[in-house]
Amino acid sequence: MSDFNEFDQQGSVPGRDTGSIISHAFEMYKGVILYAIVAMIVYMIGDVIIQSLTGFSSWSSFKEIRDYDGDYTRIRYWDSPGIGLYYSFSGLFGILLSPLYVGLIYIINKYNTKNTIEFSDLFIGYRQNFVNILIYSLISSIILVISLAMCAVPFFFVFPFFLIGYPILLFENASAIDAMSKSFNIAKENYGIFLGASFLGVVISLCGIFACCIGYIVTGPFIMAVMYSAYCAYLGKPRQIMYNK
């Protein structure tokens, strides 16, 4: 059982504009980057295991795309062996890892408020509001995957509505539906700023892929910092969570 305790704390809050949110996210991310790398290494290890079990090779697919030298009409990506099974297991794995991403947001808040960070903080999502985090991750993943399947472009217009859902689940101990509803309503009222922040956050997170994919370990979790900064901008500095073991 856990309790939420509130106390006075230091910490910065960005302005309500895209530039301030991204700038604040950069400052926060620099301070927790080692924990972000740990989270990504866990993801990468799981992904390698899933690829070995399903027979799908993302590296082979990437090499195929590179070898075609821009002639993407010849690519038969969805005909790759084991790709359907891979994405099924990968999606499930991603949902099970969502509490780990929530834990990174928790660590970002502790860094912002100058509280001592412990390695176990990364796993708070598995102890606090776990079921609702999984439900939220499942619903949002289904919606985002559908938007990605529609030529990818709709994804960037849908994603802003989910931008602050994870922080709401963590700091307000909300249910999955309440977190989704609150995130949607705030994004709807400030859509231009949320669209800009989420677009830049996703692009920056993905830019590591172009560094032989290894850079993704460093840049991938940046979107979590954007989620935290957007939450701070529109809902204020979060109260610190005190977890009673």
Residue 62 lies in a domain: yes
Residue 46 lies in a domain: yes
Residue 41 lies in a domain: yes
Average the pLDDT over 70-97 and give the result.
70
pTM of the model as a whole: 0.85
Residue 118 lies in a domain: yes
Q: Is the pLDDT of residue 5 over 70?
A: no
Residue 10 lies in a domain: no
Model confidence at 113, in pLDDT bands (50, 70, 90)? very high
Residue 243 lies in a domain: no
Q: Residue 172 region, left (φ>0) first, then alpha (ψ -120 to 50), else beta?
A: alpha
Q: 238 vs 29, which has greater pLDDT?
A: 29
Q: Which domain holds residue 186?
A: 18-235
Residue 173 lies in a domain: yes
Count of CB atoms situated within 10 Å of the CB of 66: 9
87 vs 71: CA distance, rounded Å: 25
Residue 69 lies in a domain: yes
Average the pLDDT over 118-133 and give the result.
95
Q: How many domains does the chain have?
A: 1
Instruction: Provide the 3-class DSSP secondary structure of residue 45.
Output: helix
Q: Token pair of 69, please?
A: 């030298």
User: pLDDT tens digit string along 140-170?
Assistant: 999 999 998 888 889 999 999 999 999 999 9
